[in-house]
Structure 1
Amino acid sequence: MRLGRTAVVMGGSVAGLCAAGALAPYFSQVLVLERDELPADAEHRRGVPQSKHPHFLLNSGRRAIGQLFPGFENDLVAGGGLHLMPSMDAAYLDGDGWSARKRSAMTMIYSSRILIERVLRDKVRRLANVSIREGVSANGLSTRDSTVTGVGLTTSTGEEHLDADFVVDAMGRGSSVSSWLMSAGWPTLETQTLDAKVTYTSRWYELPAQRPPSWWWQHLVIMPTRDKGEHPVEHEFLVNFFPIEDNRVIACMGSWGHPMPRTDDTFVEAACRVRAPLFAAAMDRCTPTSEVHLTRATGNVWRRYDRWGRAPQGLVFVGDSICAFNPFYAQGISSASLSALLLREHLARAERLDATFFSRFLTAQRKLLGVPWRLAMARDQGYACAVGTEKPAEWRRRVLATVSDPAFSFIVGAAREDPVIDLHFAKVFNLDESLGDMLGNPGVLARLVRHGIRSALGRRRVPFGFDPDAEPPATDYSSATATAAVR
């Protein structure tokens, strides 16, 4: 059922492309406006500087995109994406040492951001009623009687105006839509913020044609130390050696509140001081193919349009334009695609696009975004360097700083031992379940208590804490927990 003639999507990145897929069945014409000239292949562009860093595609996100664009996952893998099980294919260093290798409930697809976008663009361009207009910038909205009715454009030849029955803001963190709306008479927008001063820096490498025999792993993760004693600042870095398509990896280091290396030489020097020598040794065996890329725009920002008593009709928001997260937590693409899928579900039930429709969508989106938002707050609120409206009282911050990392490691350790906890933890990590729902599950709580008792008695099934100065162990410990689910 068609709900209107023309829908306009402002922004042609992941959020905008997903929104176009959601709108296509319900409007005669969908027009995507993109400031950049889009590459035909998987290439970087000015409007997505974060494409030079690792991007995890969480299961909830890849399923949402697959529902919007059937065949997306197969096309991503055909383009070089890697379908891996992190617990078997990643060497993971947390706490005192390397974790054991074993099967788990979680799988992921690894690829670059630029490949994800290229596959999505290909899908969108196959939709007969969707077109992408490149090299244009939205410069304002037209409104009438609390309804958005069109979009102003700046093009290479001047100014234009587009009438629209429906508009989507997918312009990311830098969106000016809130300012345009306030200028049109809407009240000052409440915005929740928390910037934990995360900075991360990445460099791309080509893997050797022949991997060393000890490299059973494809992904390397080094978590920050919890040691409170004297140590190099690099021990507090979160480190990834992240596999992508075409036999390449992205070496990435990030931190909360510390300056990060900006040059090729200082990048290599810092890598030699992280708390496992394998990271620098692996980089040394690879061939660098890029310069160092640094990003500092990493604060959590939630623009609370849902708290306006009179939400604008004819306009919705997806992706970072409404809720942007600390990229360390890999929630952005999944949250954007889930919002687009939610939009499609509401359009499918709608008989008309009235005030009730937009109010109900914002209410449902608020619930959806609350899950990743609370996860981001649970960690970032513990950092003394954090600033913003959501910075907690100092006593609460100290409690969070003391509790959050050990609690996370305890749950990770329990997931290693217990397949039921592993399943729920995978759901939380992939935004399929809230942390509150997991911890409120009596069965999960009982198993967490049992894990604590077993750990205190030294009766763990799966070893951990392997020497961080040595190679991570290749032994598969899956059989140690194979029958734990029925005990």
Structure 2
Amino acid sequence: MTSSDRGPGRGTAVVIGGGLAGTVAAWALRGHAERIVVVERDRYPAEPTFRAGVPQGRHAHLVLEAGHRALEEMMPGIRQQLADAGATRVAVSGDLKWLSSAGWMAQYPAQLGFLSCTRPVLDKVVLDRVRTEPSIEFLEGVDVVGLLGSARAVTGVRIRERGPERGEVREIPAELVVDAAGRSTSVPQWLAELGHPAVPEERVDAGASYSSRIFHRPAGVDLGHRAIYLQTKAPDAPRLGVLLPVEGDRWIVSVAGMRGAEPEPGEAGFTKQVGLLRDQSIREALRNAEPDGEVRGFVPGPGVRRHYERSSPDGLVVVGDAVSTFNPVYGQGVTVALFCAQALRRTALRHGGIGHATARDARREIATASKNPWVMSCSEDARFAATTGAPSGALLKLQHRFLDKVLAASVNDPAVTAAFHEVMSLVAPPTLLFRPSVLAAVLRS
């Protein structure tokens, strides 16, 4: 039976949004959908450059170790391609100088790490790989303006060209619609227009605000490490800073503050925020560094976790920031988006296609993949008094006390540091910290 025999949209998947979450979701569906259409409101630049549709792209980004493993599994050889494009490998210990709330973390020969580059390089390397797949097509400069279907099932999307002379609205019937439109997704609104009840969601807002700038690394400088991470310390030090190596022999430096400690605008505000950090190592590193571009600010907004696994029409899967956004200070977002693509791939393999059973299972697996990162992020946000929507209670206080002991032990005990890094890199669940050998070291400290 051909696709046309089975009715409009059968065998077609539409991905809303052609950023990283959308492109890897499209790649995950290859071989399972006859036609995969990625609808992207921007037009992709020919070279890796920042674009308006990715406002967070001008700030420091991390693909955690678990994310690199997921990406390499889906796209073998992608790590080497990123390295060829200028990404620098940073081991989480030895290459990274990490100041936790308890002090500088103990150093050890770490196997875990990440490739550090600007977001445009990451996006371009992934996009170039996805474009090699014949079943994936891209509609650039096109807006999705609504969903087709009913409260029970999504059956496609409505689209329209962008620009001053916008064309008429067209329809793309689809068996599966994947929302990868990010934080600004309109899918909840469109579902309401179809008569679907509001999707349950959680919101936690620490009021984080970012300021970033790229610098040329001074010739001959040797910091003794490749990157610096200065973590917050609640409640008296709600500011953080990160310095990462990026392509072109440069550094990207991002500073941030929680509500009440946000960086002030512009160059003066950036410089002031660097000086207010708990440690002056980033300030010293930048003493002779020449800026490469302007200071850029970013206010990510609240963390949101939408529970589509509890309430969703058939034929819809939501991935990346459209389903769960985290406080960016923990560096989890890109990695969780890659987990979403893996879940989509696994469920399509399990069911042999992109039908409603695949979508239902994918929604459940995506919820599971985002649970631990969400709990970790929200629990830390709860330490700051100005955070809204955060969890509370005796159990949370107990978690905080235990994590404080873990961080205190990590200052002197490399084994505890290594376990903590595995959890923060999302390669192991938080229960790893209760392994007898780790727990014993924590209690001894």
Alignment TM-score, normalising by the size of structure 1: 0.83
Aligned to 1:366: 367
1:268 equivalent in alignment to 2:271: yes
Q: Deviations over 1:335-371 (max 9, x none)?
A: 0111101110110111465544333222222211111
Q: CA deviation at 1:276?
A: 2.8
Query: Partners of 1:32 and 1:218 in 2: how far apart?
Result: 37
**3-state SS of the aligned residue for 1:32?**
strand
Q: What amino acid is aligned across from residue 438 of structure 2 in structure 1?
A: V
Aligned to 2:344: 343
Q: What amino acid is aligned across from residue 310 of structure 2 in structure 1?
A: R
**3-state SS of the aligned residue for 2:245?**
strand
Q: Structure 1 pair 150/114, CA: closer, same or farther in 2 (3 Å)?
A: same
Aligned to 2:144: 138
Aligned to 1:392: 392
Q: CA deviation at 1:284?
A: 2.2
Is there any run of 5+ residues in structure 2 with no aligned partner, and where? 4-9
Aligned to 1:250: 252
Please say if residues 382 and 401 of structure 1, whose CA atoms lie closer than 8 Å, have aligned partners that are also in contact.
no
**3-state SS of the aligned residue for 1:432?**
coil
Aligned to 1:380: 381
Query: Partners of 2:111 and 2:175 in 1: how far apart?
Result: 43
Please say if residues 9 and 33 of structure 1, whose CA atoms lie closer than 8 Å, have aligned partners that are also in contact.
yes
Aligned to 1:458: none
Aligned to 1:470: none
Q: Structure 1 pair 139/93, CA: closer, same or farther in 2 (3 Å)?
A: same
Aligned to 1:323: 324
Q: Deviations over 1:417-447 (max 9, x none)?
A: 243x444323211212221x22343343233
Please say if residues 10 and 138 of structure 1, whose CA atoms lie closer than 8 Å, have aligned partners that are also in contact.
yes
Aligned to 2:300: 297
Aligned to 2:425: 430
Q: Deviations over 1:84-103 (max 9, x none)?
A: 21311123334575445432
Is there any run of 5+ residues in structure 1 with no aligned partner, and where? 229-234, 453-487
Which of 177, 186, 198 aligns to 1:176? It is 186
Equivalences, count: 433
Q: Structure 1 pair 400/252, CA: closer, same or farther in 2 (3 Å)?
A: farther
More displaced stretch, 173-182 vs 216-225: 216-225
1:439 equivalent in alignment to 2:439: no
Give the 5 Å matches for 1:43-62. Answer: 43-62=49-68
Query: Partners of 2:439 and 2:400 in 1: how far apart?
Result: 21
Q: CA deviation at 1:71?
A: 1.4
1:277 equivalent in alignment to 2:304: no
Which one has a bigger Cα radius of gyration? Answer: 1
Q: What amino acid is aligned across from residue 432 of structure 1 in structure 2?
A: V
**3-state SS of the aligned residue for 1:9?**
strand
**3-state SS of the aligned residue for 1:83?**
strand
Query: Partners of 2:235 and 2:352 in 1: how far apart?
Result: 58
Q: Structure 1 pair 136/95, CA: closer, same or farther in 2 (3 Å)?
A: closer
Q: Deviations over 1:251-270 (max 9, x none)?
A: 21111111312111232233
Please say if residues 382 and 400 of structure 1, whose CA atoms lie closer than 8 Å, have aligned partners that are also in contact.
no
Q: Deviations over 1:166-210 (max 9, x none)?
A: 110000111111121122121122110000111121111111122
Please say if residues 326 and 376 of structure 1, whose CA atoms lie closer than 8 Å, have aligned partners that are also in contact.
yes
**3-state SS of the aligned residue for 1:281?**
helix
Q: What amino acid is aligned across from residue 307 of structure 1 in structure 2?
A: R
Query: Partners of 1:297 and 1:176 in 2: how far apart?
Result: 17
